[in-house]
């Protein structure tokens, strides 16, 4: 049932901390820039929106003025009303965001900027349009622009290998020398993916890109450089080293001097130090108070804090071909590269899914392409933030959406705003309506056809035959077991497999790179178009597991080198890493654990290393490496290190002393039942119940998460972190 939302004018003003809509296009610090001329029919249509209780501006102001015969600019009243209603509904939902900030821009000005929600619900503090939000992966656009500025200056070349600029870059795969800057900026380098450890933390940590360099020494490529493209954060992090090498400045200093300062983006900065108190958004705890600042230590990948209004200045620059006023940052050639489909010439691009620009996820955003409009799009997400930055260059229109917390699809809202704005000003015939999915009758299938569809896929999606039933069921591996996604899938005319209960999506098979892949077709955007994605590669049976791997199957390991991670501190991700088997995947192991949750690995070539398998649409793939340590078998996955769960020492009741090793790795202990736990001497510590659900996290004496009453159940787990050789005291009541 939809929650009741108070949409009176006064309520909207209180929720958004903004001026009433009648003043929206008349900021107090500048004259009226826009005026709108509406027909009588349009006025009656907009008057219907007053049922929301929203005050409408004077729609006739400025009409009839002399504008040289050109159409008057449009006040996007209906677009703003629709967006406001959508945002307020999300804020009112049970698991909605805590704050949202948005801006609509054209090539000359900010058309609309507004902030909604709370920075502190307990005290009622609301955000403003100057409140900083984490841009997350939207920061990649700045990395691409930084490199193109250096291209314009003649300091770098897009098609020169990375090793030319960063000789320290090495991998356990000789093909690494072929990786170019263009490949890094368009996700086609072949690097494994993302080193999440220390990327998002509650303490600023320097040296994340050096951590990536060290980790890559033992890793191999997913594919030939430039063969295909799969989302890869670490490629953008390596751009930091390129910028530093050719400019002598740190990446963050260069971006500040070369982009933020010239564009007068005065509120934008990298979050590598504490931000001004009360000036930035965070998620809220159970009491409605702000959680600590999230530090994104992979600066080029996701480290910028900004506002939609500030980002609107970059949008105006890009909508004007690389120039804003008297400031030109990018040449016409650089602008052309920025918006070129870098994936168009890739040898492997099944279904034409990849349409990467330099830094952009799409240079032809599908929801806008469905109505004949070309748009660039960049999505971003972190442990706190969800962002979307969309531009329609030919329409000279852009939108920025930033939210903190969950429950609102920033990409969908940005698409919705652009579609409504284009329809309102007459660039498209109207806002596209949802397409009713068609469900054709099933066709007869042979047992061979059904069996051909069934099997294991590297993305951990499976199709199984149901007993005495010609339909299929779809399963996904998660936390050591298969969980059903849907059942009743039957083949339809055209070859798709669809369930009567879910006509909005379908499964089908794609041949690519000599392998079969399971793919999904589904309704997207405003349900006005279909999108497709490849879920995973079909896997052939392997020889039986060796005795060593058989002995490891079904066991669990615990992370020991994540002292400040926001994912751990908020309980977003358990510290567990699992290896398990399934009869439908003979010879393989399934791994479940951050960052490669629910993927198959191939342990057939070595007793010390299980290899990731499948490369098409396979993000963040890492081998699982066995590390002999202190007479035990530990695991290394990327730069993350895990110790066996089974050998965690148990503490008896009473005070205890824990001494950290020379490496300062986390020390795990299992605890007795107690009314209270006291820990002193640790930089951070995490308490879990016997099922590894987070109960409490403390970082630098600041309690981040507190679940439950504080009593310690029998069998709970504690991990403590500190400086090497630190002695940590643990006490119980």
* pLDDT tens, position by position, 449-499: 887 787 777 655 556 555 566 788 887 766 556 678 888 889 998 889 999
Domain ranges of the chain: 447-537, 547-644, 656-732
Question: Residue 272 and residue 73: Cα distance in Å, rounded?
Answer: 41
* Predicted pLDDT at 385: 97
* Predicted pLDDT at 707: 85
pLDDT digits (tens, 9 = 90+) for 142-154: 999 999 999 999 9
* 272's tokens: 């590598």
* Predicted pLDDT at 433: 96
What is the average pLDDT across 439-458? 81
* Mean residue pLDDT across the chain: 87
**Cβ contact 468:447 at 8 Å:** no
Question: Residue 173 and residue 275: Cα distance in Å, rounded?
Answer: 40
Among 664, 642, 650, CA closest to 714: 650
CA 126 distance to own-chain centroid? 25
Instruction: For residue 246, count other CB atoms closer than 10 A to its CB.
Output: 15
Q: Strands of 385-392's sheet, edge to edge?
A: 110-117, 99-106, 397-404, 385-392, 376-381
pLDDT digits (tens, 9 = 90+) for 532-552: 999 888 888 899 999 999 999
**Cβ contact 192:179 at 8 Å:** no
Q: Give 47 or 187, the one with higher predicted confidence.
A: 187
Residues whose CB falls within 8 Å of the CB of residue 63, separated by 6 or more in sequence, listed in order: 35, 36, 37, 72
Q: Give 52 or 710, the one with higher predicted confidence.
A: 710
* Predicted pLDDT at 464: 55
* Predicted pLDDT at 480: 59
**Cβ contact 538:516 at 8 Å:** yes
Question: Residue 683 and residue 664: Cα distance in Å, rounded?
Answer: 10
Q: Work out the pLDDT band at 225, boundaries 50, 70, 90.
A: very high
Residues whose CB falls within 8 Å of the CB of residue 215, separated by 6 or more in sequence, listed in order: 195, 638, 639
CA-to-CA dists, residue 1 to 5, 7, 94, 320, 412, angstroms: 12, 17, 12, 45, 22
* Predicted pLDDT at 432: 97
**Cβ contact 587:613 at 8 Å:** no
Q: Could you give the percent of the chain with pLDDT greater than 90? A: 71
What is the average pLDDT across 579-607? 85
Instruction: For residue 223, count other CB atoms closer than 10 A to its CB.
Output: 20
Is the per-residue pLDDT at 553 higher than 70? Answer: yes
**Cβ contact 720:658 at 8 Å:** yes
Which DSSP state fits 75? Answer: -
* Predicted pLDDT at 639: 94
What is the average pLDDT across 246-268? 98
Tracing tokens 């409140």 back to the chain, one arrives at: 131
Is the per-residue pLDDT at 27 higher than 80? Answer: no
Q: Distance between the two ends of the chain, CA-based, in angstroms?
A: 46
What is the average pLDDT across 381-405? 97
Is the per-residue pLDDT at 566 higher than 80? Answer: yes
**Cβ contact 191:619 at 8 Å:** no
What is the average pLDDT across 71-80? 73
């Amino acid at each position: 049932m939809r929650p009741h939302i108070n949409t009176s004018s006064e309520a909207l003003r209180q929720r958004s901390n903004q001026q009433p809509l009648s003043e929206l296009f008349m900021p107090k610090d500048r004259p009226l820039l826009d005026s709108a001329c509406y027909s009588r029919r349009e006025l009656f249509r907009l008057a219907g929106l007053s049922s929301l209780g929203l005050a409408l501006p004077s729609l006739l102001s400025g009409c009839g003025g002399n504008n040289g015969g050109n159409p008057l600019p449009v006040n996007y009243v209906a677009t703003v009303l629709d967006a406001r209603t959508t945002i307020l509904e999300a804020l009112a939902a049970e698991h909605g965001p805590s704050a949202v900030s948005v801006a609509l821009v054209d090539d000359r000005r900010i058309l609309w900027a507004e902030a909604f929600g709370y920075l502190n619900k307990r005290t009622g503090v609301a955000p403003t349009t100057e409140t900083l939000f984490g841009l997350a992966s939207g920061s990649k656009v700045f990395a691409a622009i930084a490199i193109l500025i250096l291209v314009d200056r003649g300091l770098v070349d897009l098609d020169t290998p990375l090793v030319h600029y960063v000789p320290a870059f090495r991998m356990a795969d000789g093909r690494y020398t072929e990786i170019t800057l263009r490949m890094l900026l368009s996700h086609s380098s072949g690097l494994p993916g993302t080193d999440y450890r220390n990327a998002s933390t509650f303490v600023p940590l320097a040296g994340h890109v050096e951590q990536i360099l060290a980790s890559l020494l033992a890793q191999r490529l997913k594919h030939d450089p430039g063969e295909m493209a799969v989302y890869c954060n670490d490629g953008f992090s390596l751009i930091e080293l390129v910028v530093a090498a050719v400019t002598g400045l740190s990446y963050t200093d260069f971006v500040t001097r070369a982009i933020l300062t010239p564009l007068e983006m005065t509120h934008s900065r990298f979050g590598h130090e504490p931000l001004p108190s009360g000036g930035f958004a965070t998620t809220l705890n159970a009491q409605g108070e702000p959680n600590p600042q999230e530090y994104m230590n992979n600066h080029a990948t996701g480290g910028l804090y900004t506002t939609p209004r500030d980002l609107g200045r970059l949008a105006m620059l890009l909508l004007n071909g690389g120039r804003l006023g008297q400031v030109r940052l990018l040449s016409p050639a650089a602008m052309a590269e920025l918006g070129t489909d870098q994936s168009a010439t890739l040898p492997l691009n099944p279904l034409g899914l990849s349409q990467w620009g330099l830094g952009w996820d799409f240079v032809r955003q599908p929801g806008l392409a469905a109505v004949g409009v070309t748009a660039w799009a960049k999505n971003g997400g972190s442990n706190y933030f969800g962002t979307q930055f969309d531009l329609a260059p030919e329409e000279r229109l852009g939108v920025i959406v930033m939210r903190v917390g969950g429950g609102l699809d920033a990409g969908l809202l940005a698409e919705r705003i652009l579609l409504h704005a284009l329809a309102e000003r007459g660039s498209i015939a109207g806002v596209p309506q949802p397409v009713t999915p068609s469900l054709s009758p099933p066709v007869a299938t042979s047992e061979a056809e059904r069996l051909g569809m069934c099997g294991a896929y590297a993305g951990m999606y499976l199709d199984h035959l149901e007993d005495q039933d010609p339909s299929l069921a779809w399963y996904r591996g998660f936390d050591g077991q298969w969980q059903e996604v849907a059942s009743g899938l039957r083949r339809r005319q055209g070859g798709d497999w669809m369930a009567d209960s879910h006509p909005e999506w379908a499964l089908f098979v794609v041949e690519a790179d000599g392998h079969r892949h399971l793919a999904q077709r589904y309704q997207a955007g405003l349900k006005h178009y279909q999108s497709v994605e490849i879920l995973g590669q079909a896997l052939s049976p392997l020889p039986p597991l060796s005795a060593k791997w058989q002995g490891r199957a079904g066991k669990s390991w615990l992370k020991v080198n994540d002292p400040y991670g926001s994912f751990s501190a908020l309980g977003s991700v358990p510290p567990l890493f699992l290896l398990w088997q399934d009869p439908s995947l003979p010879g393989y192991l399934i791994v479940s654990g951050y960052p490669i949750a629910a993927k198959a690995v191939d342990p057939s070539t070595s007793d010390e290393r299980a290899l990731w398998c499948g490369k098409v649409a396979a993000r963040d793939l890492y081998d699982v490496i066995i590390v002999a340590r202190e007479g035990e078998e530990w695991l290394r996955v990327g730069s993350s290190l895990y110790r066996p769960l089974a050998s965690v020492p148990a503490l008896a009741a009473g005070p205890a002393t824990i001494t950290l090793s020379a490496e300062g790795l986390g020390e795990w202990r299992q605890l007795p039942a107690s009314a209270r736990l006291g820990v002193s001497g640790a930089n951070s510590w995490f308490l879990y119940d016997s099922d590894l659900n987070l109960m409490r996290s403390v970082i630098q004496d600041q309690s981040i998460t507190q679940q439950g009453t504080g009593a310690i159940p029998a069998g709970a787990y504690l991990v403590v972190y500190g400086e090497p050789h630190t002695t940590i005291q643990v006490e119980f009541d």
